[in-house]
Structure 1
Amino acid sequence: MYFSTSTLLLAALAPAAIIASPVDADLTPEGVPKITSISFSGNGCADPGSAKTSATVLDGTLSTSFSTFKGDSSSNCQIHLQASGAGAGWQVALKEATYHADVTLKPSTSLSFFTTSFWSQDASVTATLKSRIDCAGSDIKDSVTVKQSTATPVWSQCTGDAGYPGILNVNFRPAVTGNEGAYNVKSASIKFEWRKC
């Protein structure tokens, strides 16, 4: 659904199943989980410095700005993230994602946003958040905000004494299908959730 305002707010298309064990959204580890390494890969952020974040801790939301994450078909930018210091006995997962983008769509065109997260220690287990903008009427040319969330996040390994959850990989990927369209992703943010294990 499209609204003629300057900002679109879209939820995920298909909410996932209910989590088996309830999680306290306000739960945070005793230690400060400091980011020790962060890098980017993918054709949407291939140029050095084209993706930037100022985040230093892994305890809430991490925002990334982009300068070359644009196209008229599909591209991706993947974040590779490590942290330590959370203390022992914790797990962390990506819970929400938000995109800010300039979008142009012709009638009979859709723009989908896919956010896939996984931990390198068990790369076959993934969670993908999905949202879509459909242009069914007149042309869309607007700045949009797309929000996604999941009820079934992929949890890290249980932290040991060093508070190291593993290597988190988050892949952002917009994709245009149909007649004609383009996107220019200005920034994306991811929100984390912690639980005891």
Structure 2
Amino acid sequence: MRSSMLFAAIAPALVAADVAAPASAPKITSLKFSGSGCPNDSGSVKSTSGFLSDAASFTYSQLRGDSTDNCEIHIQASGGSQGWQFAIKEIEWRGNVQLKPGTQLDTITQVFFSEKAADTTTFTTHLTCAGPEIKDYITLRSSTNDLTWSKCIGSDGSVGLLNVNLRPVIQGDSGNYDIKGATWKLQWRQC
């Protein structure tokens, strides 16, 4: 039986109060991806939720390695209630990790919308093995109050093109990762 370890890198409490998703949450209409950890024609990333609501979840089947990889997800969604916008406020990554003493796993995730690519939020986590060896299924969380907001949903229901790029990095003596899933927690506001 595998044990589950939870490691969290939590930023200060968010300034704005959580607001539930609008009555009509945007449905994911296009899910594309690219990068060494999820080649674009591999079918290795799947949405398990299908919507951008209070949260969005995904599975990964090829994001694994012993040095670094990246996987960028590109999402278009429509059908959302007019006059709302969202931001990703927390990212949770789950998977198998093996780290020898003196090794660290970093996850660096950048979130931006193509319409405002210079407006980027970066989430980071660090898991360091001081000893003994870590060999477990883990959850890594990172949250922020530096939110990157989508465009205001108009009459077409579109949220714009959302891009989320994950880069796991092994630093040190010896280690590997096998990212299996992710959940993004969203914050909504009227605009």
TM-score, normalised to structure 2, is 0.91
Residue 40 of structure 1, aligned match among 29, 33, 44? 33
> How many pairs does the alignment contain?
189
The answer to whether 1:122 aligns with 2:116 is yes
Residue identity (%): 43
Tell me what 1:177 maps to. Answer: 171
Cα separation, partners in 2 of 1:68 and 1:159, compared to 1, 3 Å: same
Matches within 5 A, 1:36-185: 36-46=29-39, 48-185=42-179
Distance across 1 between alignment mates of 2:13 and 2:55: 23
TM-score, normalised to structure 1, is 0.88
Alpha-carbon shift at residue 174 of structure 1 (Å): 0.8
Moved more, 52-61 or 137-146: 52-61
Distance across 2 between alignment mates of 1:178 and 1:127: 27
Residue 23 of structure 2, aligned match among 17, 20, 30? 30
The answer to whether 1:7 aligns with 2:7 is no
Distance across 1 between alignment mates of 2:164 and 2:94: 16
Distance across 1 between alignment mates of 2:135 and 2:24: 45
Alpha-carbon shift at residue 16 of structure 1 (Å): 5.9
Alpha-carbon shift at residue 69 of structure 1 (Å): 0.7
Decide whether the 8 Å contact of 2:106 with 2:124 is kept in 1: yes
Alpha-carbon shift at residue 82 of structure 1 (Å): 1.0
Q: Which blocks of at least 5 consecutive residues in structure 2 are unaligned? A: none
Q: Which blocks of at least 5 consecutive residues in structure 1 are unaligned? A: none
Cα RMSD, aligned residues only: 1.8
Distance across 2 between alignment mates of 1:70 and 1:45: 10
**Deviations 1:41-74, CA, capped at 9 Å, x for gaps:** 1110115111222332211222211121101111
Moved more, 91-100 or 31-40: 31-40
SS at match of 2:150: coil
Distance across 2 between alignment mates of 1:146 and 1:18: 19
Distance across 2 between alignment mates of 1:27 and 1:104: 37
AA in 2 matched with 1:49 = G
Distance across 2 between alignment mates of 1:50 and 1:18: 33
SS at match of 2:111: strand
Runs (4+) off by over 3 Å: 16-19
SS at match of 1:121: helix
Alpha-carbon shift at residue 88 of structure 1 (Å): 1.9
**Deviations 1:147-176, CA, capped at 9 Å, x for gaps:** 221122110111111221211001111101
SS at match of 1:8: strand
